A and B are shown apart, each in its own frame.
Chain A
Amino acid sequence: MLFNSFAFALFLPIVLILYWMLPFRAQNFMLLIASYFFYGYWDWRFLSLIAISTIIDYITGLKIQETDSEKFKKRWLWVSICTNLGILGFFKYYNFFADSFADVLTTMGMTVDPLYLHIILPVGISFYTFQTMSYTIDVYRGKMEPTRQFWDFALYVSFFPQLVAGPIERAKDLLPRILNKRTFDKAQFYEGLHLILLGLFKKVFVADNLGPFVDRIFRASDPSGFEVLCGGWMFAIQVYCDFSGYSDIARGCAKCMGIELMVNFNHPYVAVNPVERWQRWHISLSSWLRDYLYISLGGNRGGEMKTYRNLGLTMVLGGLWHGAGWNFVLWGAWEGILLIVHRLCKPFWDVHTFIQDHTPEILRRLFKMFMMFHLITVGLIIFRTHSIPHMWQLWGNIFTMKGAVEPSLLMPLVWYALPLTVYEFIQYQLSQDQWEKIGRIPSWVRTIVYSIFVYLIAFHGASAQSFIYFQF
């Protein structure tokens, strides 16, 4: 079920009304049924995968706690990891690896006909497998106690607002919120509605309207350098609004039920270096990769070279998490290289130069933001491209600035992205207190602002498009 669909417009109010009418225990049970309905509405057959993950992780969590033997704890942990990664690997990566393996053999002079399977990629599989894995890993590491409440655990795995595209919530954060009683808070409810509206605006008005322009540029046989640059900018805005819009709606829905979800995006394009970029972009995934992959690989504990290796490997695997394709692997590698180069050059950042000493801080920050945004954009071209030669062609056209410059290409950005950019910039500049004061403006002023948002969503939004991150 898409958040921007008629079905969801019916579903959410019904769920909210039932939710607040029911007593606490029944609330969770109703939410579980609603979450399974939400997912099964797309394809009920794949509910079995969620159920398998739920049962395996529930049992392994308990088994890890019950045993004192480190060997058995590890064995149970591997049961969980192998089951989850097995499901993910089969449904998401089987054909990719079969294809890549055949390619490797072909380059070695052997001809093979790989066995392709017609596998449907279950929506959100990457999100909920990572979410459930974090539970068993945290139980194994002794960071949390496993729960004995099976139905509540099942709700943690399948909680519909964040089931198919995150945020990837840690069990130690979300489970207690599910296990504890919630009380209706009007302010929290309104904040939830505000987030839903903002998320819809980002998705329907900004992302979906920029989509066709991006498609046209990336499908063109030989776009000019300026076209590719505009396409890259537009895609950067599109993918941000698409994904952060989903996260906002997810957080808004959960807030309306008195449940807080983590902030997944925090003005990512104001980042001034690759580290800050990943502290602001898809925070739930980047922190997952840091805590469960990078640290498991050794993190920065084994010297500089191992740190670079770990960074690179984490980002490559993070890229692969986004999709079964070499472009995603390369995109991950690009992001890894940025992190490594940033770390390598870190000592030089602090050296005071004449220019640094004589340039206002704000200008230096803006310059760094500008540079970082373009490094992200160049990386996103790899993400969006459909083949490696295509990527080289697009990069080549940008760096040689091939063809004419058509300023009219900037119009979609001005029309669709500028209002949100202004909104986000103001939000970024103000402190939390100041921002909350803005939120307390008279209700008639808010009504005017919201009405304009509603108008743009309803009459200038593109028709229901699926979220880009569903494919992950």
Chain B
Amino acid sequence: MAKILKNIVKLIGLGIIALIVLELAARTDDYINWDAPFWSIYSEDMLRVSDEYGWHNRPNAKYQKWEINSLGFRGPELATTKPDSVLRVICVGASATFGLFEEADKDYPSQLREMLNEKYPGRFEVQNAACPGMSPPRIAHYFDVWIKQFDPDIIAYYPAPDFYFNDEVPTDTIFTRPAPPLPVFESRLKGKVRIALKGFLPRGWQLAYKNWEMDKIVKSHGPGWQWQTPPPERLELYRRHLIGVINTIRGAGSTIILATKTNSISDEKNEFDRINMTNWLNLHPQCTEECLLEMDVEARKIVLDLGQEMDVPIVDIAPLLPKTNEYFGDHHHFSTKGAQIVAEGMFKEIVKIVEADSAFAAHQ
């Protein structure tokens, strides 16, 4: 009995040693690969902050491939005063614009910067002011309290209606909830294990688990809880908020370009589609598959209609992006190639705008 007990204690001790070594290895790994701090917290949450400006990127934050400049933008440093003969383009939006799956410096605003600088050397400054999770009213607010001081000439906006299909919808009034403080200790190993498991466990198992989780949520709410089609009042709210963004930006004298949103789910419903659809549904358990797909169709119509009604230049991304995993990293975030197509769409529209501007042409 004593021997068994001794072995158990020994096993637990060795287990603890293994965990400590693995955790230290994870930290060394982050230090070597990303120049991450060894002892303090290092997580994606470091990239964002919630303060008097709302929910936005934390200035000078750095996490893996993502680097935020001193002004809270993902891009090179920017002078507050705009140099003469330079046009400023600021891209706003949420995670799709911020960039998740693209290689470093290949998010669509970065690629747009490259394209514009190649055609008009020294004439453009392009910034990525997007922040994951930023809904239209928050964008309007952030523009008002922060972005407009940089005197942007053009605001490129790739909006997403997804925020309107959650339990908690964006409201007209912006209230800033302080972000929860970063924990004192967080295991780096845990996050890495989660990512490794995603690659190791069979996809079928992962999908089955996610579907089971979703079914549980749906069943707990009873019949009729799920939307079969996008509720009109949610779409109307989205439309109203987009008008708010347009008016705020125009009010500051900037030109706004809107893009239509698209997703990666093709009609074929191949394996890639099924995985992406399940992940997407997991984010919006109240929606059925049809509801989510319809949501993007309706959202596109709203943007196209607003373009006509309010004379806003529109970049219709939806028909430009093939629905394959070459162009998307998940259900709607772009890959480097996908971001390139979005950048090209924006580039053409910007060229059209500036070429029609006599003042700009005079500087050519």
* Residues in chain A within 8 A of chain B (CB atoms): 6-7, 9, 443-444, 447-448, 450-452, 454-455, 458-460, 463-464
Shortest distance from the beta carbon of B94 to any chain A beta carbon, whole Å? 29
Q: Contact at A455–B25, with CB atoms within 8 Å?
A: yes
- Which of A444, A459, A460 is within 8 Å of B14, CB to CB? A444
Find B17's partner among A444, A454, A458, A464 (CB 8 Å cutoff): A444
* Dominant secondary structure at the B interface: helix
**If the complex has contacts A451-B17, A459-B192, are A443 and B10 also in contact, measured as CB distance less than 8 A?**
yes
User: Within the complex, what minimum Cβ distance (angstroms) separates B292 from chain A?
Assistant: 29
Inter-subunit contact B18/A447 (CB<8 Å): yes
Q: Which chain A positions have C-beta within 8 A of B353?
A: none
Among the listed B25, B193, B199, which residue makes an inter-chain contact with A451, where contact means beta carbons less than 8 Å apart? B25
- Chain B residue numbers with a CB within 8 Å of A464 are 200
Across the interface, do B196 and A448 meet the contact criterion of CB distance under 8 Å? Answer: no
In the complex, A447 Cα to B18 Cα: how many Å? 6
Contact of A447 (CB < 8 Å), options: B14, B26, B201, B202: B14
Q: With an 8 A cutoff between CB atoms, is B104 at the interface?
A: no
**CB of B22 closer than 8 Å to a CB of A:** yes
Query: B18 and A458: CB pair below 8 A?
Result: no
CA–CA, A450 and B200, complex, Å: 20
CB-CB < 8 A to B193: which residues of A? Answer: 458
Q: Which residue of A lies closest to B193 (CB)?
A: A458
* 11 A-B residue pairings within 8 Å (CB atoms): A6-B202, A7-B202, A9-B200, A444-B14, A451-B17, A451-B21, A454-B18, A455-B22, A459-B26, A459-B29, A460-B29
Query: In the bound complex, how far is the Cα of B189 from the Cα of A459, in angstroms?
Result: 10
Please tell me the size bucket of the interface on B. 10 to 19
1/0 contact trace for B15-27 toward A, CB 8 Å? 0011001100110
Interchain nearest-CB distance for B194 vs A (Å): 11
Q: How far apart are the CA atoms of A442 and B18 in the complex, in Å?
A: 14
Interface string of B188-232 (1 = CB under 8 A from A): 000011001001111000000000000000000000000000000
**Known contacts A6-B202, A463-B199: A454-B22 contact under CB 8 Å:** yes
- CB B86 to nearest CB in A, in angstroms, measures 36
Enumerate chain A residues within 8 angstroms of B14, measured Cβ to Cβ: 443-444, 447
Which residues of A have CB within 8 Å of B22?
451, 454-455
- Residues in B neighbouring A9, C-beta threshold 8 A: 200
Q: Is there an interface contact between B196 and A458, defined as CB atoms closer than 8 Å?
A: yes
Which chain B residues border A463 with CB–CB below 8 Å?
A: 199
Bound together, the chains give a CA A464 to CA B199 distance in angstroms of 9
Cα distance A460–B199 when bound, in Å?
12
> Given the complex of chains A and B, what is the CA–CA distance between A414 and B13 in angstroms?
34
- Given A6-B200, A443-B10, A459-B196: A448 in contact with B26 (beta carbons within 8 A): no
Additional A-B contact list (13), CB under 8 Å, known A7-B202, A452-B21, A463-B199: A6-B202, A443-B10, A444-B14, A447-B18, A451-B18, A451-B21, A452-B25, A455-B22, A455-B25, A455-B26, A455-B29, A458-B192, A460-B29
Question: A448 and B17: CB pair below 8 A?
Answer: yes
In the complex, what distance in Å separates the CA atom of A451 from the CA atom of B14? 10
Residues of B with C-beta under 8 A to A451: 17-18, 21-22, 25
The answer for the CA separation of A52 and B175 in the assembled complex, in Å, is 75
Q: How far, in whole Å, are A448 and B21 apart by their CA atoms in the complex? A: 6
- Name which residue of chain A comes closest to B18, CB basis: A451
Q: Give chain B nearest CB distance to A458 CB in angstroms.
A: 5
Q: Which chain A residues border B21 with CB–CB below 8 Å? A: 447-448, 451-452, 455
Expressed in whole angstroms, the Cα–Cα distance for A266 and B332 within the complex equals: 51
